[in-house]
Structure 1
């Protein structure tokens, strides 16, 4: 059954609905002679925290050290179009937390990139992709992708050569939320993918931490809204002791 599940994932490029339908109908499928490096829902080594998702990925493709999922982790997320101050704050937070946690993010430009880069200096990081495991997006992060593969972990529920489609990213975000102890948001607008990640995290019972923003700030309006709703405020590095 394991090989069949992987074959369905390859055939349907990780699409969970098509894979589920294939399983339900016991659809015939050709098993590849060589299977890619992956872990599936049937494996004992499948990340425990991802099993708590309503719809966990059937198959996870990966490059790097899968055992990092067994270590305490923290998610750091935020805007792609981040301000220079937000990037600086993100790097400081990620650097500090990486001494105690594996830092998880989505390898997007902006906040995600800053979080991964800072974590790699003295710690470990996991990048969760919304595209094929061999085709990092954005392409400008290829060198970062290569370094995370070597010194951390890159995972995706999408097999090689799968393009980064818009609907992939909410699925990626749910994995980031599930795999972490809590989520740190360093910059977010009220309507953004970051806020969707936070929603997933809260539904899973994860803690949410936010950096506050000045009055009338649009770039950080999402952070301020989350603080109003009960997220824990981070105003300096000393506050990280509560995480």
Structure 2
């Protein structure tokens, strides 16, 4: 039951964070804190008088809450892991205020390196293509892609990673709540191979103030954070700041200076985030630290299942395995094509594992 006591305590505003850490040092366990008398808690000199009064009032109104949470989790097949468990994300323990307990649906402990991908909810076609491209490439190489389950970049990042590997969604509500509701099927699919994760009690609604706190978990679990597309006042920038505060890497996808929806990510680059053009720019940062797959089995199987469109066939027929071609090279031979269409078809074939970029925007068959 200790995990359930801790999970309740970390969700009480007057206790969460540093006060809970100090109370645990005094009382030894979450259960002891929950059952302690008012005088014992006062003598610990951790909570201010008004905090102590609010905590006692809350506890008196919710005496059986830890046991109720345990019952709900059992009924809804929700699991818990505490900060001392083996399946707790190792990097998350290193941040200043790690959750003592994580609720999750699915499976933690995939033992994969994690990369966070975040960005705008109001995604542009460019952002959509970039999110898909990077998530597919990173998941294919053995990274678990971590994001927030929201509209826009989060959704596209989860979908891309799911097509070839593992992804994890960190929620700003209980793991039994689909938010946004239209992503209910996506979250269910994520939990089949990865995990839907939260520090919040089951049934907790998606309150606005939960999301900045949620962002520290997204970045805290991950080796680095990739900002795909973010406006100047985007919540994604909070995740980037959390990553920097935890000493983690921040990457950003560049975009047009005229795109207001990307001013935040462009400014991150201006301030020192690593500009990335393809997944190799991220993978190269960790090649010496971790062993990565070159291609997932699932992606290899998918490769056989795709049928080329007529335009893709024309482009694919020009490519060879050993002589890279640029978009201009292809346009020279396909006079009826446009640069935008050729780039689009190359991206689609790259995402499906049919062609490969050499990092200088030249392509070969795989």
State the partner residue of 1:18: 15
Runs of 4+ aligned structure 1 residues displaced above 6 Å come to none
Secondary structure at the aligned position of 1:98 is classed as helix
**Which of the residues 56, 59, 67 maps onto 1:32?**
67
The verdict on how the C-alpha distance between 1:39 and 1:241 changes in structure 2, with shifts beyond 3 A counting, is closer
Alpha-carbon distance between aligned partners in 2 of 1:27 and 1:180, rounded to the nearest angstrom = 32
State the partner residue of 1:132: 174
Matched, 1:198 2:205: no
CA contact (8 A) 1:79 1:110 kept: yes
Aligned residues: 239
Alpha-carbon distance between aligned partners in 2 of 1:55 and 1:38, rounded to the nearest angstrom = 18
Matched, 1:45 2:120: no
CA shift, 1:176, in A, is 0.7
**Higher mean C-alpha displacement, 13-22 vs 128-137:** 13-22
Higher relative contact order (Cα pairs below 8 Å, separated by 6+ residues)? 1
CA shift, 1:237, in A, is 5.1
Q: TM-score, normalised by structure 1?
A: 0.90
State the partner residue of 2:7: 9
CA shift, 1:151, in A, is 1.6
Alpha-carbon distance between aligned partners in 2 of 1:62 and 1:199, rounded to the nearest angstrom = 25
Gaps of 5+ in 2: 28-32, 36-62, 74-78, 286-366
Alpha-carbon distance between aligned partners in 2 of 1:19 and 1:4, rounded to the nearest angstrom = 16
Matched, 1:76 2:130: no
CA shift, 1:238, in A, is 5.2
CA shift, 1:173, in A, is 0.3
CA shift, 1:5, in A, is 4.7
State the partner residue of 1:103: 145
Alpha-carbon distance between aligned partners in 2 of 1:130 and 1:62, rounded to the nearest angstrom = 13
The verdict on how the C-alpha distance between 1:114 and 1:232 changes in structure 2, with shifts beyond 3 A counting, is same
Q: TM-score, normalised by structure 2?
A: 0.61
What are the Cα deviations for residues 166-190 of structure 1, in whole angstroms up to 9, with x where unaligned? 1111111000111111111110012
Q: Which has the higher helix share?
A: 2
**Which of the residues 220, 232, 236 maps onto 2:262?**
220
CA shift, 1:17, in A, is 3.8
Secondary structure at the aligned position of 2:85 is classed as coil
Matched, 1:170 2:197: no
Alpha-carbon distance between aligned partners in 1 of 2:16 and 2:248, rounded to the nearest angstrom = 28
CA contact (8 A) 1:8 1:19 kept: no
CA shift, 1:16, in A, is 5.5
The verdict on how the C-alpha distance between 1:19 and 1:223 changes in structure 2, with shifts beyond 3 A counting, is closer
Gaps of 5+ in 1: none
The verdict on how the C-alpha distance between 1:142 and 1:223 changes in structure 2, with shifts beyond 3 A counting, is same
The verdict on how the C-alpha distance between 1:239 and 1:156 changes in structure 2, with shifts beyond 3 A counting, is same
Alpha-carbon distance between aligned partners in 2 of 1:47 and 1:233, rounded to the nearest angstrom = 27
Which is higher, the Rg of structure 1 or of structure 2? 2
Secondary structure at the aligned position of 2:140 is classed as coil
CA contact (8 A) 1:102 1:124 kept: yes
**Higher mean C-alpha displacement, 150-159 vs 104-113:** 150-159
Alpha-carbon distance between aligned partners in 1 of 2:136 and 2:250, rounded to the nearest angstrom = 18
